[in-house]
Each structure stands twice: as structure tokens, then as C-alpha cells.
Amino acid sequence: MIGIFDSGIGGMTVARAIEQLLPDHPLIYFGDIARTPYGPKSPETIINYSIRNTEFLLEKGAKLIIIACNSASSVATETLRQRFQVPIIEVISPAVKKAIKISKSGRIGIIGTKATVKSNVYRDKIQKREPDFEVFSMACPLLVPLVEEGWLNKRETKMIIRRYLHPLKNKQIDTLVLGCTHYPLLTDLIQARIGKKVQLIDSSIETAHYAKEYLENHPQLVPQEADASHTYYTSDSTETARKVAKRIFNRPMELIVA
Amino acid sequence: MIGIFDSGIGGMTVARAIEQLLPDHPLIYFGDIARTPYGPKSPETIINYSIRNTEFLLEKGAKLIIIACNSASSVATETLRQRFQVPIIEVISPAVKKAIKISKSGRIGIIGTKATVKSNVYRDKIQKREPDFEVFSMACPLLVPLVEEGWLNKRETKMIIRRYLHPLKNKQIDTLVLGCTHYPLLTDLIQARIGKKVQLIDSSIETAHYAKEYLENHPQLVPQEADASHTYYTSDSTETARKVAKRIFNRPMELIVA
């Protein structure tokens, strides 16, 4: 069983991609919406929450953990790998791999939460493989609350995206990583603002592809019989969470409070 | 000792008012920024956090608790009063008292978080005393993240306030309660949008006055000797929290991680 956790509902974009790529693999999701958002919080706090979330998924039978949150991936991956025996997949490396593959100019933009940008993990991972690449990062802390509110096409959201992307506009980037699992819900607005020539990378989709490949290479993690059970847990129950979940999956979602 | 808690730093507007009115009274503050914000979360979750925060303040020696958070005041006050022996002061009633006192038209607006507005506690408390008063409420969930980001005078903030206040504009209110301890940081923008004829009520200031009066009536809660120790604890440490705290108090603030 694949266990996926996120600070809230943004990571459901990863779960959705996993459901599509691996429809016969059981999946369990935990969204920590009682403590959401993680992005503005300290690494210590994010690590504590990530440990607790992983323990929950392991108790429920997960054999593989996906950290479907860029903030937690940025600061908690090493701790989780040291602490737990199961494979831990994070959302950064798959997006980095894709960015390096498609960028021609070697100039890559990253947008994410404060925790993600401050950790410099995208820049470090890109430059470890391609030391000559230049990476330009911008923290966009208000985009998560705007998505959580469902303000996906409001004028104010466009203006705020405009303001955040402005410093990246004259950096001649040809690739922009959506380094937060909430941002795929704003793809159109971000693409319109950054320009058609810049290719967007959706870390959710890249992570799902990576997980699929990983399971093909580790068949012992795959159940012998098809089992399409997908269970979604959250640490709190709110109407907004149900609404955004429904929007992401395009179906009514049962969220079980754990 | 007065114990004050909030979901984060917004409640420091209450602490600041208490410091000014009761400079010789010891004060201890707890801001739960590891779990902030409370406003979008469920009553059950907010109640659990409020119990934990109160226990922390009592362990530190608090003899009187102020819930410096409208969301927690709205949903957790009764539980805290049943569970703990010390007096519990919330931020709603003082603002209600003032609103009833100054409103001439009997038409009162309330802005707050989702939790506060959904609880209907302002409307219920006003109409319990003045059944003929009309109360118009509007949840403004994005104002807390905007304040936490320090976007206090940005064009986008003005536009979002404009959008939130629009439905209140034609209700002929003469009084508007800032039903969230973050909102006093946006007083000028809110006043400009709602119009000069509408009187704003700052629940922070009203609560400080109420606490002062309460202590005058309960001298056994007042220390025999002046003790101006003011200690600020938080459940997480971030740069943004320190910045906003400094802005609220107009001095550098030491925030101790508890």
C-alpha cells in the first residue's frame, strides 16, 4: 500500500496523479489540515509533524511513503529516511530531474512556500547535477491560502501572482517548477503571467511517474492482487477541505477524520 | 498573573493593550503559531488546542485567562469555563457591550474568521440583549494570512478588503466590530472602505478595559507588589512572527519557544 501525506489538501494533486497512473494499487492519504499550513512554519515543527504523519500511515499498513508536500520534502526527508525502514519518496527530486531534462538555457525558476525556498533544496539538487545551471527562487506564501479559499480565478489572485512572478520575469528562465502541491490548481494563471515560452513543471505529476517507476523496480512492494482501495484521512473536517478535495478529484470525496 | 493565549500573534494586540492599561501586572502570553491559523478549522480542533493552551498558562502560574482570539472565544469559552477553575475572559462580550452602547441605528456589522462568523456568537450575544438589533456578518478568511505576511498597505489587500466589505456597504450599519485580533492592524484600510460614518470597534482594546475592570472587582487576583514581568511564549519560532510582533509592540520582542 502507498501511503501519502501532506500538510492538507494540496497533496491530493499527487494522490490524484497516483490514482491515474496506478489505479490497481491501494493508496492511503493523510492530510494534516488541523495543523495546515506547513510552509510558514519552522523546520523543527515541520519535521515533528512529518514523523507523526508517517507513523500514522505505517500503522495503517503503508509499505512506501510519499511526502506529497514540498515544504515537508524540503526539510524532513532525511530525518524520515533515517528513522523509518520503508522507502520514502519526496516531491523535489522528480521535479528536479524533469527540469534538468527539459531546460535548454540552464536557467530555472522555482516557486514555493517560505520553508521550501529557504531550504534551498531545489537549487542544491539542481546544481549538484548541473553546476552551471542558474536557479531563481521566489517564495509565494499567499498562494496556499488563496487556493484553500478556492480563489482560483479571482482578479486579486492574478495580481498577487503578478507581484510574486515579477522578479522572475527578467531572469530569462525557460523552465518554472511549481514547487508546492497547491500550485497545479493555479497553472493557467501562472502560465499566463510567466509567458508561454516558459515550461511549467508540476511536481505532483513527476512524483507520480517516479513512484510508478520505483514500484516497477521493486515488485515486492506491489500487492499480488489488484486492490483499488483509496482511503483519504484528514486530521480535521471542514467544509472548505471537502470542497477543494471535490474540485481536485472531480468527484465527491469522503474524508475520514483520524 | 494574567495568562493570554491566541492562535498566533494576532492576540498580541490584546497583550499590548493589557500592558498599557495594567503596566504593573505580570503577564504571560502563549501564541500557538505551530498550529496557526485557527479560523478555518473545526470547533472540535479549536477546542482541543484551547484546552492545551490554557493548561500551559495555568502551569506557568496564570490566575486569570484571556482568550485573545475571536475564533477560540467563539467556540471554546464554555468548555474552558466548565473545565478550569480560574476566571476565563473572552474577546467577544466586551466588543458586544461596546457595540450596543454606541450604535444608534441598531444595525451592526461583524467581520471575523470563518469559525467566528459560523458560530453566530456575536449575533446571538447582541440579540440576547437587544432583540431588535440587526447584525450583518462577513467572514474574511484571507485577512489573517495577509496580516501575517505583513501586507498591511498593499493594493491587493485593499482590493480584498473591498471585496469582503462590499456586501456590508448597503446595509446601513453604523458600527463595525473587528471580530478578529489581527484586524486592528488593518484599521485604516477597513475604515477607508466602510466609510467614516461607521464606528469601528477594536475587540482588543475593549477586552483590555474589561480585564482591568474585572481585576478591580477581584482584588485577590492582583499581586500585592507591582511586577511588570511580561513573558511571550510561542509554539514555533519564525522570522515572520518576530517581525509582526515587533511591529505590534514597536520594540524588539523575545519570543520563547515552549
- Residue A152 is classified by DSSP as S
What is the spatial distance between Cα A80 and Cα A65, in angstroms, rounded to a whole number? 10
Rounded to an integer, the average pLDDT of A130-138 is 98
Q: Which residues contact B151 (CB under 8 A, 6 or more apart)?
A: A142, B157
Which residue has better confidence, B150 or B179?
A: B179
Contact A45 B149 (CB under 8 A): no
pLDDT in tens, B212-256: 999 999 999 999 898 989 999 999 999 989 998 998 999 999 999
Contact B236 A45 (CB under 8 A): yes
Cross-strand bridge partners of residue B257: B234
Architecture of domain A92-203 in this structure: 3-Layer(aba) Sandwich (3.40)
Closest CB to B236 among A42, A148, A151? A42
Min Cα separation A226/chain B (Å): 36
Rounded to an integer, the average pLDDT of B106-125 is 97
Contact assessment for residue A18 and residue A228, using Cβ atoms and an 8 Å cutoff: no
Four-point Cα dihedral A166, A168, A174, A178, nearest 10: -90
Closest CB to A156 among B42, B160, B235? B160
Binning pLDDT at 50, 70 and 90, where does residue A28 land? very high
Binning pLDDT at 50, 70 and 90, where does residue A135 land? very high
Q: Is the predicted pLDDT of residue A26 greater than 90, yes or no?
A: yes
Q: Is the predicted pLDDT of residue A230 greater than 90, yes or no?
A: yes
Q: Does B105 touch chain A (CB under 8 A)?
A: no
Please tell me the predicted confidence (pLDDT) of residue B14. Answer: 96
Q: Considering only A237-241, B29-33, B129-133, which range has the smallest mean pLDDT?
A: A237-241
Neighbours of A57 (CB within 10 A): 24
Tell me which chain B residue has its CA closest to the CA of residue A163.
Answer: B156
Rounded to an integer, the average pLDDT of B152-167 is 97
Min Cα separation B101/chain A (Å): 35
Interface of A with B in 9-48 (CB under 8 A): 33-35, 40-42, 44-45
Contact assessment for residue A95 and residue A207, using Cβ atoms and an 8 Å cutoff: yes
CATH topology agreement for domains A2-90+205-257 and A92-203? yes
Q: Which residues contact B37 (CB under 8 A, 6 or more apart)?
A: B7, B8, B71, B113, B144, B145, B148
Tell me which chain B residue has its CA closest to the CA of residue A159.
Answer: B156
Min Cα separation B217/chain A (Å): 38
Give helix then strand counts, H and E, for chain B: 11, 10
Please tell me the predicted confidence (pLDDT) of residue A148. Answer: 84
Q: Is the predicted pLDDT of residue B164 greater than 90, yes or no?
A: yes
Q: Is the predicted pLDDT of residue A255 greater than 90, yes or no?
A: yes
Catalytic residue check, B69? yes
Contact A40 B114 (CB under 8 A): no
Neighbours of A240 (CB within 10 A): 17
Binning pLDDT at 50, 70 and 90, where does residue A33 land? very high
Name chain B contacts of A145, Cβ cutoff 8 Å.
141-142, 145
pTM of the entire structure?
A: 0.93
Binning pLDDT at 50, 70 and 90, where does residue B148 land? confident
Q: What percent of chain B has pLDDT over 70?
A: 100
Interface of A with B in 201-220 (CB under 8 A): none
Binning pLDDT at 50, 70 and 90, where does residue A71 land? very high
Binning pLDDT at 50, 70 and 90, where does residue B149 land? confident
Please tell me the predicted confidence (pLDDT) of residue B80. Answer: 98
**One CATH from 3.40.50.1370, 3.40.30.10, 3.40.50.1860, 3.40.50.2300 for B2-90+205-257:** 3.40.50.1860
Name chain B contacts of A33, Cβ cutoff 8 Å.
41
Q: Is the predicted pLDDT of residue A3 greater than 90, yes or no?
A: yes
Please tell me the predicted confidence (pLDDT) of residue B150. Answer: 85
Q: How is chain A split into domains, by residue range? A: 2-90+205-257, 92-203
Q: Does B166 touch chain A (CB under 8 A)?
A: no
Q: Does B256 touch chain A (CB under 8 A)?
A: no
